[in-house]
Amino acid sequence: DSGVTQTPKHLITATGQRVTLRCSPRSGDLSVYWYQQSLDQGLQFLIQYYNGEERAKGNILERFSAQQFPDLHSELNLSSLELGDSALYFCASSVEGAGANVLTFGAGSRLTVL
């Protein structure tokens, strides 16, 4: 157990729908990162939050949004889902920004869009 908890583990939904993925960071970590892993794109950085504030944005679609709450858990919202959004979504956490810090990853949420 890495200490980073992601729910749900698996999610199957239809095109056009909206889903929310949840992440609880490791105790003491203030930064939360979201990554998307797909066969064709590899591991893509989506977005990072630090202590409730957005700190960096990567290849995140406008249909996707995220936030980090006062208790430091984070949610990734995916809307108007398309077939191509099917992927494994990872949350990771670290004490501060990436830099030299190690990211601790959760087990991922596998999203299947039918």
Partner 1 sequence: AQSVTQLGSHVSVSEGALVLLRCNYSSSVPPYLFWYVQYPNQGLQLLLKYTTGATLVKGINGFEAEFKKSETSFHLTKPSAHMSDAAEYFCAVSVYFGNEKLTFGTGTRLTIIP
Q: Which of 8, 16, 58, 84 binds partner 1 (CB under 8 A)?
A: 58
Tokens 């810090």, residue? 101
When asked if residue 4 is in the footprint of partner 1 (CB under 8 A), the reply is: yes
Residues 36-55 that bind partner 1 (CB under 8 A): 42-43, 45, 48, 50, 55
When asked if residue 100 is in the footprint of partner 1 (CB under 8 A), the reply is: yes
Residues 70-89 that bind partner 1 (CB under 8 A): none
Order across the sheet with 74-78: list the strands. Answer: 5-7, 19-24, 74-78, 64-68
Distance between CA atoms of 46 and 36, rounded to whole angstroms?
7
